[in-house]
């Protein structure tokens, strides 16, 4: 039987296409050059079915959507306590690129903001990994979540590194507090590579579905991370995934989510589906304008709000 979901998604995209507010991320020149009209949405069920409409096979960089997955890998590789000792789980209420460190310890408030994600990147794998091997472990892990081999976008990576002054400043602060114990530039380079992994909305929906499916990729059947890790990750996505818009999101959409500055947005509904949207124009929080509208609509039409 033909599913009604693609028609529903096509209609939803049609309703947001006239909204041309917001701008693609300007602080990474390669992203500023993205086609702002790209628009797509995909659903992936925990049974492994994928439904989509619009640009769901266009590749773009994952950016901050890598953060919950790298956090999952770090928790799986090291266990909870060593990770919590370095990165907290409290919402910052601030923008993604604020310093947001605890006053006395210098511990970043959560793994979704850049300070926490830069630190989390160093916690993937074990201490004996060289920086390049750690990046490989991150990319392999993201690929396992997606169920296909992913690769980085060198042009976006180089472009971001040339302008990474804020992230370098954050990394130096973290090094000053001994939260980071390595060369800050090497760490930011690895983190930036993590952010430059190319994905499609279809991939992101499947990655979100792997979280919704409690750590098992619905298509490959691979257990990527243990179930308690997924609970931790989804909880932090719920409270911190949308930065200083997390409260609006929690009340209006009500599902764990994460945005990226290339225009991707994911949501995971435990036991049910992973959802992804792609539209590069961003609001002042760095979240996709049309993506947020689409999620508000999906949540209200299908009663996805968890409360
Ligand atoms: O570190 C950065 O600024 C980027 N690589 C990622 C930021 C991001 O995606 C924020 N999310 N909306």
Please compute the mean of the pLDDT values over residues 7-35 and round it to a whole number: 95
Residue linked to tokens 């590579």: 193
Range of the structural domain that residue 24 is part of: 5-63+199-302
Same domain? For 179 and 296 the reply is no
In the reported structure, the alpha carbon of residue 2 is separated from the centroid of ligand 1 by a whole-number distance in angstroms of 38
Shared-domain flag, residues 211 and 158: no
Helix (H) or strand (E) holding 156: helix 154-162
Q: What is the pLDDT of residue 2?
A: 77
| CA atoms of 10 and 53, how far apart (whole Å) | 5
Chain centre to alpha carbon of residue 119: 15
Average pLDDT of the residues in 128-153: 98
pLDDT at 103 over 90: no
What separation in angstroms does the CA of 240 have from each of 68, 131, 181, 230?
Answer: 10, 27, 25, 15
> Are 133 and 113 within one domain?
yes
Q: 64: annotated binding-site residue?
A: yes
144 and 221 share one domain: no
Domain contains 154:
yes
User: Is residue 277 in contact with ligand 1, taking CB distance under 6 Å?
Assistant: no
Per the prediction, the chain carries an average pLDDT of 97
Pick the closest to residue 305 from 244, 245, 249, 228 (CA basis): 249
User: Any idea what the CATH number is for the domain that residue 228 is in?
Assistant: 3.40.710.10
| pTM more than 0.95 | yes
Q: What is the pLDDT of residues 255-294, one digit of tens each?
A: 999 999 999 999 999 999 999 999 999 999 999 999 999 9
The ipTM of this complex is 0.99
Q: Ligand 1 within 6 A of 64 CB?
A: yes
Nearest CA to ligand 1 atom 4: 63
Q: Which residues contact 300 (CB under 8 A, 6 or more apart)?
A: none
- Cβ–ligand 1 distance for 195 under 6 Å, the answer yes
Q: How many domains does the chain contain in total?
A: 2
d(CA 212, CA 219): 13
Do 59 and 180 lie in one domain? The reply is: no
Residues marked active site are found at 64, 67, 191, 243, 261
Q: Closest ligand 1 atom to the C-alpha of 167?
A: 1
């Amino acid at each position: 039987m033909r599913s009604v979901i693609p028609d529903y998604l096509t209609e939803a995209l049609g309703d947001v296409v006239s909204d041309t507010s917001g701008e693609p991320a300007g602080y990474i020149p390669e992203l500023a050059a993205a086609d702002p009209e790209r628009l797509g949405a995909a659903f992936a069920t925990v049974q492994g079915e994928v439904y989509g409409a619009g640009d769901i096979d266009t590749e773009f960089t994952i950016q901050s959507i890598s953060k919950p997955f790298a956090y999952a890998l770090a928790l799986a590789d090291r266990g909870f306590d060593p990770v919590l000792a370095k990165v907290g789980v409290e919402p910052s209420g601030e923008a993604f690129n604020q310093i947001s460190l605890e006053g006395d310890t210098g511990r970043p408030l959560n793994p979704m903001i850049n300070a926490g994600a830069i630190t989390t990147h160093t916690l993937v794998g074990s201490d004996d990994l060289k920086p390049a091997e750690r990046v490989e472990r991150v990319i392999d892990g993201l690929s396992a979540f997606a169920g296909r081999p992913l690769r980085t976008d060198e042009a976006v990576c180089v472009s971001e590194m040339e302008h990474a002054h804020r992230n370098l400043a954050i990394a130096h602060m973290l090094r000053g507090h001994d939260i980071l114990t390595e060369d800050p530039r090497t760490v930011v380079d690895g983190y930036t590579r993590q952010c430059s992994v190319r994905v499609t909305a279809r991939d992101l929906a499947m990655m979100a579905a792997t979280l919704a499916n409690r750590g098992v990729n619905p298509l490959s059947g691979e257990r990527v991370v243990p179930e308690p890790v997924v609970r931790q990750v989804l909880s932090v996505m719920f409270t911190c995934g949308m930065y200083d818009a997390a409260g609006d999101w929690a009340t209006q959409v009500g599902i764990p989510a994460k945005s990226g500055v290339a225009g991707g947005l994911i949501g995971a509904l435990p036991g049910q589906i992973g959802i992804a949207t792609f539209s590069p124009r961003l609001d002042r929080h760095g979240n996709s304008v049309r993506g947020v509208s689409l999620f508000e609509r999906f949540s209200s039409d299908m009663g996805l709000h968890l409360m």
